[in-house]
Structure 1
Amino acid sequence: MAESFTETFAAGLAGYGDRPCIQFEGRWYSGKEVTAYGRAIADVLHDAGVADGAPVGLVVRNRLPHAAAIIGFLAAGRPVSMIYSFQSPESIGRDIDALRLSAVVADVEDWTEPVITAAERAGSAGVAISLRQPTVTAVAGLTRRDATRTHADAEPDVALQILTSGTTGPPKRQSIKTDVLRRTVFSVTSGEKAAADAPPELAYWQFGGIGVCQLIAGVYNGRRIVVLERFSVDGYVAAIKEHRIPRSGVQPAVIRMLLDADVAKEDLASLDFLISASGPLDPETRDEFEGRYGIPIVLAYGATEFAGSLCAWTPELQAEFGASKRHSVGRALPDTELRVVDPETGAELARGEQGLLEAKVAPIGADWIRTTDIASIDADGFVTLHGRADGAINRGGFKILPETVRRVLVSHPAVKDACVVGVPDTRLGQVPFAAIEVADGTAAPSEEELSELIRARLPVYNVPVAFAVVDQLPRNPALKVSLPAVAALYKPR
């Protein structure tokens, strides 16, 4: 009988022994230390009257204690629901109210009064974790689950509830079944199982969302993992340089940040290539990076609901099609079928036509799952993305794709980045509004200049009603531009 994911994952954790498992803030923690931390959390939960299989909440940070908690829960088969830590204490409290869990685990600094009060209302036990002594302890007043309260049961076969990045609104929870985690590992590693002494995985994407996949894949395969609490150019480059990391998945914003910081070419010399995901990468930025550093960038595509990638490039595909299909995100993974459909009728479209991308992923189920991404699939099966349908602006019946307008704006030499969103209009329903970052050392272009640039390339209804110049576009911890925050910059005239 084949080993379950949980059994294989637990074996991967046990295999570290005294060897390094996770590096955090410059220190390596052995497999035994990580395991002991997870067991200490399990002991406090047991003493609190929390059943072994009951789901718990984790107010998650990219820190060693939180990584150990996630690893320990998965190795023991305990479901965990992620709660973002970078929201207000009151918002964390509202999540606790809504989840109704037997217990909540959080960093000692996140156990604020509103969070404690919410856990009391929910009857949840509370566990505080820290790198300082005591590293794991029950929260005063929350030492036991209130057995008179009804708490959420585990969803059948669900291992994780992870969160979307919250680009278009509040993050949504996505349940990931245990069996689906095998494809998570495959999509992160392309099926490769490197030797234990290979360069470590570099994990800086937020563990509350899709970033947890890299942590899971690393332990599953017994790889060392370097964890950064958050992205910074200095921290990222230092990790690449110290550990001679050969490849890394990055957000498009990271590529721009590396260029703007003028990172020395030799500091990135170990990189064979970068994988750009989680949003569109401007061709100009890609050309500039590849020209300066000689490091190829390949595009990939995935989503939280699929627990990883849907399509990607292999070295063989790169060798054969890399030049001719440069703007594609690759072909479907072996366990995935993809098609493009008409958004109104649902009818499958011919190769090369643009429509909504749908996916059928074998470990998830037999149903086609519709995404909000506009895509086309060519005759060779390569997928190209053209924007998001859920961001389309309906200006009095005229449909505007924000990414199309954004691409024109960033072609201006003085515009480093831009974001286009729809804002309410009493007459037309919605109208486009744009915020722009100005390139260093340049003057901001006038609204008239930007409007003329768009008129020259697109129908006139694409021209934004107003522009805002900002030092930096507002981004969430996943380094994606926050559309609600951009819309809040709009000041009706």
Structure 2
Amino acid sequence: MNATARGAQVALVCEGRTVTYAGFDALVERVAAALQRDGVEPTEVIAICAAGSIDYAAVFLGALRAGVAVAPLAPSSSPDALAGMIDNSGARIAFVDAQARELLAAAKAPPPVRMIALDTPDGYDTWLAPPGAVAQCVEIRPEWAFNIIYSSGTTGAPKGIVQSHAMRFAYTRRSLERGYGPGAVTLISTPLYSNTTLVSFFPTLALGGTVLLMPKFDAAAYLELAERYRATHSMLVPVQYQRLLAHPDFDRHDLSSFVGKFCTSAPFAAGLKAEVLRRWPGKLTEYYGMTEGGASCELCADEFPDKLHTVGRPMPGHEMRLIDPDGKEVASGEIGEVVGRSPAMMTGYYRQPDKTAEAEWYSPDGQRFIRTGDVGRFDEDGFLVLMDRKKDMIISGGFNIYPSDIEQVLMQHPDVAEAAVVGVPSERWGETPVAFVRLKAGALRAESEMLAWGNERLGKLQRISELVVVDALPRSAIGKVMKRELREGWVKNV
């Protein structure tokens, strides 16, 4: 539709390459025709593992046009994890770049998959159907898989999260309320294998806007692109907001074109939200939810500046409840695990019915909810206050300790840029908190003094047993702090 209505409009810009809607539509058609030529049937799966590019986008949308589901995979995966995801997806074709090829070559059991190089002249360009090729029309069914998003694997083997065409369509329709449309210019600097990215990427193209695609985030380049192309929308993770606001040239750039800025995927500190509101024009919206779906919360930070410590209220049509370890709902105002249901729920984990069952909770009246693994409470206005991941909660001497409470105290220290707290084994208490902090530039390494400073301000049961200064906190490609690595590294070095 956009190719006909606005064929001359720019659809995507990436590293100096520009493609119009008409040109992109023709490229997508050639991909769909090539997949059909190679016998890839509707409801089958292809995999993509590469840095973001216009060709990556064309393969993704071309597969969808042919009724084929897409498994976009992280190039940051380990060799065996990447091979396992391709094997689990059942993909017979994988579109890869040099990094992915090296990873698969190093895997203990490389999957039996045909690889098509997206970054070599004799790969993708040769594979494509010829210019002018027309794909056979496929009638897409709402329940068909649109994509399979694999979890990061930070808490075990990656699981394939199946999202349907109906789910993507519902989210795109809802995006009209967020200012997406033909005038939208969306700057994307998170990877295309992440649902964080796709919830901005697809609505922009479906509703006729322009996507500015950054294969790799760089604060200086981001600010330059935003100003030059008059960006209106952007989905960023908290660490990106932090790096952008810390850039010495941030306030010299004209960012007045922004209509909406969004954030998800990791805890977004209240102080950082306040700084974004103060220094960056346009609305700021935080989303809390899971790739698996369930329910999501929305915090319109500019409308509720007194609720920045929360993640907002459940979105319209979304239902959230809090349950105790026995699966019973907790009383109003009490803390419990967040479970949710909405039209945007995953079908299940791909080919893992046991894992799907573990992620589900059924209410007494038989309604299906998805467990988040997060612990929180609702305040008197219905805003959700997150405490922590259930798996990250520390049980010390029989008492529950929430690392986020300790982290918030440490972040008040004038020398602390970031803080992460984990529970480690303790003979006396079962578990005890250990803090890892990254200092601001120029700050001195005064670990013992900082430990004493923190413990003076913490409750007796919360006190930290050790504080470690680190150069950087380990993060996933989407910006989540990988606490398991911190915990395992500490135990290994004791």
Tell me the TM-score normalized by structure 1. 0.82
Shift of 1:241: 0.7
Q: Would you say 1:73 and 2:59 are equivalent positions?
A: no
Gaps of 5+ in 1: 1-10, 140-153
Q: Would you say 1:356 and 2:337 are equivalent positions?
A: yes
Shift in alpha-carbon separation, 1:388–1:134, aligned structure 2, 3 A: closer
Matches within 5 A, 1:218-367: 218-267=204-253, 268-272=255-259, 274-293=261-280, 297-306=284-293, 310-313=296-299, 319=303, 322-350=304-332, 352-364=333-345, 366-367=367-368
Q: Would you say 1:50 and 2:40 are equivalent positions?
A: yes
Shift of 1:297: 4.1
Shift in alpha-carbon separation, 1:324–1:109, aligned structure 2, 3 A: closer
2-side partners of 1:186 and 1:487: how far apart? 42
1-side partners of 2:237 and 2:99: how far apart? 28
Q: Is contact 1:299-1:328 (8 Å) kept?
A: no
Of residues 280-289 and 467-476 in structure 1, the stretch that sits farther from structure 2 once superposed is 280-289
Q: Is contact 1:44-1:137 (8 Å) kept?
A: no
Shift of 1:160: 0.9
Give SS of 1:420's match.
Answer: strand
Shift of 1:398: 2.9
Over aligned residues, Cα RMSD in angstroms? 3.2
Q: 2:186: which partner in 1?
A: 201
Gaps of 5+ in 2: 129-140, 348-366
Give SS of 1:358's match.
Answer: strand
2-side partners of 1:482 and 1:50: how far apart? 37
Q: Is contact 1:18-1:30 (8 Å) kept?
A: yes
| C-alpha distance after superposition, 1:366-401 (max 9, x if no partner) | 512222222223344333323222211223433221
Shift of 1:343: 3.7
1-side partners of 2:336 and 2:3: how far apart? 43
Q: Is contact 1:372-1:390 (8 Å) kept?
A: yes
| C-alpha distance after superposition, 1:23-62 (max 9, x if no partner) | 1012211223333433443444344433344212222432
Shift of 1:132: 4.5
2-side partners of 1:286 and 1:363: how far apart? 26
Q: Is contact 2:150-2:159 (8 Å) kept?
A: yes
Q: Is contact 1:169-1:483 (8 Å) kept?
A: no
Q: 1:102: which partner in 2?
A: 92
Shift of 1:227: 0.8
Count of matched residue positions in the alignment of Structure 1 and Structure 2: 459
Q: 2:401: which partner in 1?
A: 400
- Share of identical aligned residues, percent? 24
2-side partners of 1:323 and 1:114: how far apart? 47
| C-alpha distance after superposition, 1:302-359 (max 9, x if no partner) | 221119x712246xx954xx24434333332222122233343422431x33322221
Q: Is contact 1:435-1:470 (8 Å) kept?
A: yes
Shift in alpha-carbon separation, 1:113–1:243, aligned structure 2, 3 A: closer
2-side partners of 1:24 and 1:105: how far apart? 18
Q: Is contact 1:62-1:204 (8 Å) kept?
A: no
Give SS of 1:479's match.
Answer: coil
| C-alpha distance after superposition, 1:54-90 (max 9, x if no partner) | 2122224322211111111223321112221122444
Give SS of 2:47's match.
Answer: strand
2-side partners of 1:204 and 1:76: how far apart? 27
Give SS of 2:454's match.
Answer: helix
2-side partners of 1:424 and 1:411: how far apart? 27
Q: 1:470: which partner in 2?
A: 470
Partner AA of 1:99 in structure 2:
S
Shift in alpha-carbon separation, 1:109–1:249, aligned structure 2, 3 A: closer
| C-alpha distance after superposition, 1:261-307 (max 9, x if no partner) | 12332413333553332222223333444445566644331221119
| C-alpha distance after superposition, 1:246-268 (max 9, x if no partner) | 34332111222123212332413
Q: Is contact 1:195-1:223 (8 Å) kept?
A: yes
Give SS of 1:62's match.
Answer: coil
1-side partners of 2:203 and 2:55: how far apart? 18
Shift in alpha-carbon separation, 1:439–1:131, aligned structure 2, 3 A: same
Q: Would you say 1:173 and 2:160 are equivalent positions?
A: yes
Shift of 1:362: 3.2
Q: 2:423: which partner in 1?
A: 422
2-side partners of 1:225 and 1:330: how far apart? 28
Partner AA of 1:250 in structure 2:
L
Q: Would you say 1:185 and 2:172 are equivalent positions?
A: yes
| C-alpha distance after superposition, 1:430-467 (max 9, x if no partner) | 333221101111112323x2332333333334333333
Shift in alpha-carbon separation, 1:173–1:429, aligned structure 2, 3 A: farther
Q: Would you say 1:378 and 2:379 are equivalent positions?
A: yes
2-side partners of 1:452 and 1:123: how far apart? 56
Q: Is contact 1:168-1:483 (8 Å) kept?
A: no
Q: 1:128: which partner in 2?
A: 117
Tell me the TM-score normalized by structure 2. 0.82
Shift of 1:22: 0.8
| C-alpha distance after superposition, 1:107-150 (max 9, x if no partner) | 2553348449889x6443332223756543459xxxxxxxxxxx
Q: Is contact 1:13-1:220 (8 Å) kept?
A: no
Of residues 52-61 and 63-72 in structure 1, the stretch that sits farther from structure 2 once superposed is 52-61
Matches within 5 A, 1:135-150: 135-137=124-126
Q: Would you say 1:157 and 2:158 are equivalent positions?
A: no
Partner AA of 1:71 in structure 2:
L
